[in-house]
Structure formats: structure tokens, C-alpha cells
Amino acid sequence: MINVTKTYLPKQDRYMAYVSQIYQNGWVTNNGPLVQELEKRLAEFLGVKNIILVSNGTVALEIAYRTLDLKGFVITSPFSFVATTSSLVTNNLLPIFCDIDKKTFNLNPANIEKNITPNTSAIAPVHVFGNPCKVEEIDKIAKKHNLKVVYDAAHAFDVSFKGTNVLNYGDISTLSFHATKLFHTIEGGAIIINDDSLVEKARYLINFGIKDAENIPHLGTNAKMNEFEAAMGLCLLDDLEFIKEKREKITEYYLAELKGIVEFQQRNPSATDNHSYFPILLKTEKQLLKVQQALNSESIFPRRYFYPSLDTLEYIEPKQCMPVSRDISTRILCLPIYPDLEEDSLKRIVEIIKSCLNE
């Protein structure tokens, strides 16, 4: 069976060496030494000032909103994983959707200003499939209207824009380290904060709002990463160049073999590609379903990622219609991509797609 992704696991002996350290010191959570080590190494690797590790990518978004004291309306993308929207709703924030660019799949900055009202407190764009948004345009709009910017960078680990890590844009960026991601900690995530004065508050918020044994200045939650997850992250960080190299070769094969047959996401020309996903765009939903069924019959399982468009969610009020996002969501399919995807399997995937589309 070939799934859209497969969790990368490091050599067992290296992971168990970290586990042995955990057993020796008996420190399994609450900002243990491995969490501290991973934060330090990631900050250096990514070139960011402040990184806080948390239990998952969804709570990273929630803590970001609380850290910035967001209220009212937040402008965001309808083309994303559901957590981008649900994390707003659970924090009593109203998602105001802006439609996406039909080529890049990212939030279209041209749609932002017409949706800004006195109740708008922030913009929450998404770097879709690790493809950086038009960050300079978005940040310019935010400054003009005194809005905060929280980038959902769940897919954008180790992506640079104009020579600097894309995580350095906006007020806060968040990452997901779920097991399906390019870099993972089994479950986990991270918050990247550019304002040094907010870091202490965010650390309180991930630990129930507690400052010390006798002071609880904020309403917080339990969002801490544990030592076993940090151990996995430390192992993967050592293997990251190998992982990316393997993914890049798969990307290059798909691009070469499917060029002119399907449509590809338009990448930001000033940014690097971490090869975390490989989306293709079919001409119609009927065509997509035909390709999907043919692949599934061979035990190959791509994913309709992202589907459905988030503006169709029943719990979102008021109802909003984003025609570009709805159209793209019905025609997009992410193909399998992971380091040990075998060459024969890769060729078979391409053969099936070509056969379906040439009939």
C-alpha cells in the first residue's frame, strides 16, 4: 500500500540513545533538557530568534492568538487544513475568509483590504504546501491598518524567502511537527515570535498560565512538548538534509513526467521549496475522481488536500462563498511523496495518471 505520505523514522539505536537519557534523569516533561536542546538547535538551524515548542500545530495557533490578545474578526484563507479555521473559532474569533490566488493557492492580498472593518484585529494567512505567501504585501497592509499577522506555516519548515527564513515575517508564525510532516516530533508544533517582549507570556500560556509556584497571571492551557517527542525531533534534525534530498528527487520526477498533462502550483520565485507536498490540479472534479479511483484500485492513496473549502463548514457564520477556493478544492490532489518511495512505485503512479488522462 502506498499512502500520500509515510512517517520517517530514524535509526532505532539513535532514538533509543536519547530515550536512555530520559530514563537516567527521570525528566519526561515540563521543559526538560531535550526540549531545551531542540529549541536551541532549531533556532540556530532555522535562523529565528525565539522558538517555543508545543504539543501540536493546532495549539500553536491558539497560543499565538492568545499571546497577541486578538479579538473580533481575523482575515484568513479558506484553502487550508481545518485547524486554521477551528483554532480561530475555539478562541471566540470570527474567521473572515479572503479568496485565494488560483495559481499559488495562497490568500490573495488584493482581497484583503475590502474585508477589513473596525472589528478586524489580525490577518492569518497560510503558506500553502510550503509556498510562501506574498509576505511583503500582506505585512504592508497589516501595518497600514494596525493589524497583527499570524502566519500558519505548518508546511513551511526550512523555507526561505529572499535569503531569510519565511518564519521571520509577521508577528508570529506557527509550525506543525505532526508525524506526517517533513520534520516531525511524532506530535508537536512550534511558535516563532519576533517580538521578544511576548516570549515570556507565551511560555506562561503553554503551562496553564503559570508564572511560578505562587503566580498565575494568564488563562493558559497545557500545551507542552514532552521529552520523547523532543528526542524524535533531535534525531530527524540530523537526517533532514537526507530527507529533503530524497523528496526533491521525487518532485523532479513528477514535474518532468507530468508536465503539460496536469497543472502545478505556481511557486514563489523568491523562495526555496522544501518538497513537503506534491499537489496536482486536474481540469475537473470528474477527472480527479477518475484518477483517484484508478490509483486506489492499485492500493495507491493520494489525498484530496485541501477538501472541502473551509468556507463551506457548517459551523461558520455568517456564510461566505469563496469561488476560487471552492473550485481549486474540488480539483486538487496531492500525490505520494516520502523518502523511501520506491522508483518502481513512482513510475507506476505516473503511468496510471497518464493512462487516465490520455483516454
CATH number at residue 16: 3.40.640.10
What pLDDT score was predicted for residue 323? 98
Say if residue 193 is in the same domain as residue 123: yes
Q: What is the pLDDT of residues 283-329, one digit of tens each?
A: 999 999 999 999 999 999 999 999 999 999 999 988 899 999 999 99
| CA count, 13 A, side-chain hemisphere, 171 | 24
Range with lowest mean pLDDT among 12-16, 216-220, 244-248, 334-338: 216-220
* For the chain, percent of residues with pLDDT exceeding 70: 100
Angle at 137 between CA 135 and CA 54, to 5 degrees: 30
Buried b (16+ CB within 10 A) or exposed e, 64-81: bbbbbebeebbbbbbbbb
Say if residue 335 is in the same domain as residue 299: yes
Q: Is the pLDDT of residue 167 over 70?
A: yes
Closest of 228, 225, 234 to residue 188, by C-alpha: 225
Q: What is the pLDDT of residues 114-155, one digit of tens each?
A: 999 999 999 999 999 999 999 999 999 999 999 999 999 999
State the CATH number of the domain containing residue 310.
3.90.1150.10
Say if residue 317 is in the same domain as residue 198: no
Residue 246: count of CB within 10 angstroms of its CB: 17
Say if residue 81 is in the same domain as residue 213: yes
Q: What is the pLDDT of residues 13-23, one digit of tens each?
A: 999 999 999 99
Give me the domain span that covers residue 41: 2-99+107-234
Q: Per-residue confidence at 194, pLDDT binned at 50, 70, 90? A: very high
Residues 304 and 36: their CA atoms lie apart, in Å, by 37
Q: Per-residue confidence at 212, pLDDT binned at 50, 70, 90? A: confident
Question: Is the pTM above the cut of 0.85?
Answer: yes
Out of 234, 265, 284, a domain closes at: 234
Span 235-251, average pLDDT: 97
Out of 195, 213, 234, a domain closes at: 234
Q: What is the pLDDT of residues 215-226, one digit of tens each?
A: 898 899 999 999
Say if residue 13 is in the same domain as residue 59: yes
Q: Is the pLDDT of residue 359 over 70?
A: no
Q: What is the pLDDT of residues 43-86, one digit of tens each?
A: 999 999 999 999 999 999 999 999 999 999 999 999 999 999 99
Out of 234, 253, 280, a domain closes at: 234
Span 34-42, average pLDDT: 98
